[in-house]
Structure 1
Amino acid sequence: MKKIVLTTALLSVVLTACSGKKEAEAVSAAAETNIMLEEPKPVDSSAIASAAASPEEEGLKLIEGTDCLACHKVDERLVGPSYQEVADKYTDADADLLAQKIIEGGQGVWGEVPMAPHTGMSKDNAKLMVKYILSLKKG
């Protein structure tokens, strides 16, 4: 590929010096087209799979993109319980219940301050958030 680029560049210089500007532009455009038409190199699909975010990472990104962090922190109580407290209280079997609480809101389990509902959130996204929270369970 380096040879093609160098040859094309040299040819462009020679044509510019020896002939009109239009011919040099035509050669330069043809060279650019050649470079763009080269076959792409094969991609290692296992590298793509390992670069994809885990469900827990996706859940964290969703949490960071919402208002959740205004009331919750990972390891200390704020307005609501810490995510660590939630993880220690619940198991994977409670994932649907917790996802529903995120969507509908709730009150009474952690005190009298209600959790605001997130009615526009999909159940799948709420489950990803729960997956992240439950991943914080200590030993």
Structure 2
Amino acid sequence: MFALVVGALAGTMTSGARAAGGLHGQQVAAANACMGCHAVDRKLVGPSFQQIAGKYKGDAQAPAKLARKVRDGGSGVWGMIPMPAHQSMSDADIRTVVDWVLAGAPSR
């Protein structure tokens, strides 16, 4: 059910709405320790948010895939270091961060 909701919401957001939510998306990412391993435009421990956006561009399943990855963690897609699970993040916060990342991680 969560995957369907994430997919439906991501599909209905306009680029203007994504841009307007950019700062909020970045704030939610920072508040949930995402910036400890990811940066907007350069690789840190994990890939940059812009690299992630590029990899999943045009993938209609990306919102659901990335939401699961954030919630459950994972490894092997970007290298040997695993991404930890973020099970304490709310579905709304996960959706906000995933939408922001897929929009190219805009700073405004």
The alignment's TM-score, normalised by the length of structure 2, stands at 0.71
- Structure 2 gap ranges (5+): 1-18
Q: Take 1:58 and 1:103, find their aligned partners in 2: how far apart are those partners?
A: 19
Aligned pair count reads 85
- Structure 1 gap ranges (5+): 1-52
Q: Take 1:57 and 1:130, find their aligned partners in 2: how far apart are those partners?
A: 13
1:1-139 aligned within 5 A: 54-91=20-57, 93=60, 94-136=62-104
Q: Take 2:44 and 2:78, find their aligned partners in 1: how far apart are those partners?
A: 11
Q: Take 1:135 and 1:60, find their aligned partners in 2: how far apart are those partners?
A: 12
Percent identity between the two aligned chains: 40
Q: Take 2:102 and 2:41, find their aligned partners in 1: how far apart are those partners?
A: 13
Larger of the two Rg values belongs to structure? 1
CA contact (8 A) 1:56 1:129 kept: no
Query: Higher RCO, 1 or 2 (CA under 8 Å, sep at least 6)?
Result: 2
CA contact (8 A) 1:105 1:114 kept: yes
Deviations 1:41-82 (A, max 9, x none): xxxxxxxxxxxx944332221101121111100111010000
Q: Take 2:39 and 2:25, find their aligned partners in 1: how far apart are those partners?
A: 14
CA contact (8 A) 1:96 1:127 kept: no
Q: Take 1:83 and 1:95, find their aligned partners in 2: how far apart are those partners?
A: 14
Normalized per residue, which structure has more helix? 1
Q: Take 1:54 and 1:123, find their aligned partners in 2: how far apart are those partners?
A: 20
